[in-house]
Structure 1
Amino acid sequence: MPIHGLSPSQKPVKPAHFDIEQVIRPNILDLHPYRCARDDYKEGILLDANENALGHSISEQDVPNDDPTLDLDLHRYPDPSHDPIKARIAALRSVSGVDHIFLGVGSDEVIDLLMRVCVAPGKEKILITPPTYGMYTVCAQVNDVGVVKCPLELSGQAGEGGTKGRFSLRVDEVKKAIDADPSIKLVFLCSPGNPTGTSISLESIKAILDHEKFKGIVIVDEAYIDFAGQESSAVSLVKDYANLCVMQTLSKSFGLAAIRLGIAIAQPPLIQILTNTKAPYNISTPTAHLALSALSPSSLETMKTKVQTLKTSRSALLKSLAAIAHLGLGSSIGSNEANFVMIPVLSKDGSRPDSVRAQKVYKALAEENGVVVRFRGNEPGCEGCLRITIGSEEENAAVVRKLELVLNEL
């Protein structure tokens, strides 16, 4: 069954064992996407979409005089395709064209759409690798999709590299889980991981993509990739693997969490399926305006400078935390390849990570000292851990100072 809106390709599909038409739910393949007004015409006297021709109703008294959003034709529906944004993303990530890019309302919309188009409710499953991003499980529950858990390597030390070390992917165990359950349609890999801060090697990702018994799609969530380096990105594999989807976002390295723009990078068949299924105007005009500005050459240089500053601050924060380790802090776990660090709080005798004590530290920081970090002690392999986002220089100094105070009091 052909994919609506996709021109037939004569190129052989790689890997040979993958057939996207066997992954996508039949009702989605058969879907005729909603055709919105702006799919046909974008210019002229536009009287086709039942918009308010008199313009928006925001009083100029209620907004700053220099607010540029009032000049964005807010009374018109947005462009449904946003090809200029996609073109800049394609250039940034060295992708061959806009037909490889999908834009969503944050990565969460991409996660939800992938489950909806690929996984039959009540019958099929996804595979996740705890500890990992919690929305995979939440979306699965919303969509009545089963979840198979195959934990990352929880022993050893971080930074051992390659396919070994703490929080690396246990490739053989993932393969065994896939072989034992043919209903697994999607494998979600977070790289660098949240909350692990550790990248999954391209070698490990390729091993799952090449596994002949897996007929589904591997999704690599790269929300933090700019803090690890493009050499770690699975985007380089997209050209060779039709069964790969890479997710990215403007929320982290670009500092645009508020605009909610997520990105999927994959070969055109999967991108077309996502496009056919999404809401007609999912990306708003203000979001698109800000995203296009953020992807301009000058803004990209600013982003890269800020990423480097945060990486330098990350190293400085780790040194400062090590200086108060005698109060009951362990060494950071994970490989510290994101914009946060994971620090275990130890028992009073320093013998082991202590989640009860960590919970007390977490609450005392937030409720008595105005410093909010994230307790992650309930995640596999993260006993006693606090996840601390890299802040400004002043914020990093404050968290160390307040943490020292709280640990002394406990």
Structure 2
Amino acid sequence: MSIQGLPPSVSTVGPSHFDIVQVIRPNILALHPYRCARDDYQEGILLDANENSLGHSIKDAEDPVFALDLHRYPDPAQIAVKERVASLRSVPGIDHVFLGVGSDEIIDMLMRVCVAPGKEKILTTPPTYGMYAVCAQINDIEVVKCPLELTGAAGEGGESGRFSILVSEIKKAVDADPSIKLIFVCSPGNPTGTLIPLSAIRSLVDYQNFKGIVVVDEAYIDFATPEASAVSLIKDYGNIVVMQTLSKSFGLAGLRLGVALAQPPLIQVLTNTKAPYNISTPTAHIALSALAPASISQMHSNVTTLIASRTSLLADLEALASLGVGRAIGGNGANFVVIPILGADGKPDNARAQRLYRSLAEENGVVVRYRGSEPGCEGCLRITVGTQEENKTAVTKMREVLSAI
């Protein structure tokens, strides 16, 4: 069976043990995508889509976004946005790019097209992003968990040390359960901040006993080294998809635009399955501006500033050691840090961490994230790197609260 809409000349690139037709659910392969009005024509007197020909009804609106043709359905393909993404991430073309309503839509779609509800499974590596498990439960999919390395020296990363990926354990899980269709790897991790080396990811996509797809979530990749991105593997592997987003380094969390990068066969399957107009006209308009050369330059400048601020924040937090703030754990490769709050015995203390978390938010106007219930994160708070002023205020408030509890 072929993939609807995929030219016969396009085939999946390596590895030899992978066949995407065997991964995608049969009902998805047989799906004839909804053909919407704007797929055919986008210019002329448009009387084909039951749009409001008089335009939108928003009056006295000065925002230039309202000058857009909001009474018309958006471009279902968003070719211009995809071209800029392809250029930025150095993939061959738009047939390697899929756009979603945030990465969350892409996570959900991957499960729906690849994993049969109630029969097949996904694998995650906790502690990790919580939406993988949420989407799995919504889709009636069981989650196999292979925790990251939960011991080792604080701050270590790479191929060994705390929060490194245990490739051998994942392979054992795959051997024991052939129904696993997707492996989710978050790199840099959330909440760990640890970058997963390409050698570990390559070991998974090369593993002959795994017939499914490795999903690499790179929401924070711009805060790490560019050469660490798994996008470089796409040219040789059809069984990998890399997710990125404009929410973090681009500072556009409110835009809700996620990106999937992969070989054309998988991109085509996602395209066949998506809602007809999933990316709105305002979203595309802003995304084009964000992906323009000047904006990309500003993004890189902001990332440099945040990395420097992260270093300063870590130093300021280390100065609170006498008050029970432990050394940051994880790889610190994102725009946040994770620190353990210690009890009188010098060990991570969930109760004290929760008291600090609540007092900061409810009495001091500083909101961080309690992560003590995550594997390997006992007593931990996750602190996003803010502006210099915000970071200083947060540390000052933490000192005051910790002195009292």
TM-score in same-fold range (> 0.5): yes
2:8 aligned partner: 8
Name the structure 2 match of 1:363: 358
Whole-Å separation in 2 of the counterparts to 1:134 and 1:217: 19
User: Which sections of structure 2, spanning at least 5 residues, go unmatched?
Assistant: none
Structure 1's 318 and 296: CA in aligned 2 closer, same or farther, altered over 3 A?
same
Q: Distance in 1 between matches of 2:163 and 2:9?
A: 39
Instruction: Give the match for residue 390 of structure 1.
Output: 385
Q: Secondary structure at the match of 2:235?
A: helix
Instruction: Tell me whether 1:53 sits opposite 2:48 in the alignment.
Output: no
Pick aligned residue for 2:92 from 92, 96, 99 = 96
Q: In 2, Cα distance between the equivalents of 1:185 and 1:40?
A: 35
- Aligned counterpart, 1:185: 181
Does structure 1 retain, via aligned residues, the 8 Å contact 2:11–2:265?
Answer: no
Q: Give the counterpart letter for 1:41 in structure 2.
A: Y
- Cα offsets for 1:78-122 (capped at 9, x unmatched): 000111111111111111100000000000000000000000000
Give TM-score, length-normalised by structure 1: 0.98
- 1:10, distance to aligned residue in structure 2 (A): 6.1
Structure 1 residue runs of 4+, over 4 Å off?
A: 158-161
Whether the 8 Å contact between 1:192 and 1:198 is mirrored in structure 2 is yes
Residue 401, structure 1, aligned to residue 396, structure 2: yes
Distance 1:396 1:31 in 2: 51
Cα gap change, 1:289 to 1:32, in 2 (>3 Å):
same
1:278 is aligned, of 274, 280, 299, to 274
- Distance between the aligned counterparts of 1:12 and 1:355, measured in 2? 48
Partner of 2:233: 237
Matched, 1:157 2:153: yes
2:221 to 221, 225, 229: 225
**Whole-Å Cα distance in 2 between the matches of residues 258 and 106 of structure 1?**
9
Match for residue 310 of structure 2? 314
The DSSP-based 3-state class of the residue aligned with 1:239 is coil
Instruction: Report which stretch shifted further, 280-289 or 152-161.
Output: 152-161
Match of 1:117 among 113, 120, 127: 113
* Distance (Å, rounded) in 1 between the aligned partners of 2:157 and 2:321: 25
Deviation at 1:11, TM superposition (A): 5.3
Which letter maps to 2:107? I
**Alpha-carbon offset, residue 13 of structure 1:** 3.3
Residue 268 of structure 1 is matched in structure 2 by: 264
Contact 1:162/1:203, CA 8 A, preserved across alignment: no
Aligned equivalents of 2:64, 2:109: Cα separation in 1:
32
How far apart in 2 are the matches of 1:229 and 1:52?
A: 48
Give the drift of 1:301: 0.5
Q: Could you tell me which amino acid in structure 2 is paired with residue 47 of structure 1?
A: L
> 1:349-385: per-residue Cα shift (whole Å, max 9, x none)?
3x20001110010000000101000000000000000
Structure 1's 11 and 186: CA in aligned 2 closer, same or farther, altered over 3 A? closer
**Alpha-carbon distance in 1 for matches of 2:295, 2:359:** 38
Matches within 5 A, 1:135-154: 135-154=131-150
Partner of residue 249, structure 1: 245
Contact 2:157 2:194 (8 Å CA) reproduced: no
2:208 maps to amino acid: E
Residues 192/204 of structure 1: CA separation in 2 closer, same or farther (3 Å cut):
same
Preserved contact between residue 158 and residue 167 of structure 1 (Cα < 8 Å): no
* Distance of 1:117 and 1:208 partners within structure 2: 21
1:59-91 CA distance string (max 9 Å, x none): 21xx3x2x1111110000000011111111111
Q: TM-score, normalised by structure 2?
A: 0.99
Distance 1:404 1:10 in 2: 60
- How far, CA to CA, are the matches of 2:41 and 2:276 in structure 1? 15
For the 8 Å contact 1:171–1:204, the answer to whether it is kept is: yes
Instruction: Tell me by how many angstroms 1:159 deviates.
Output: 5.1
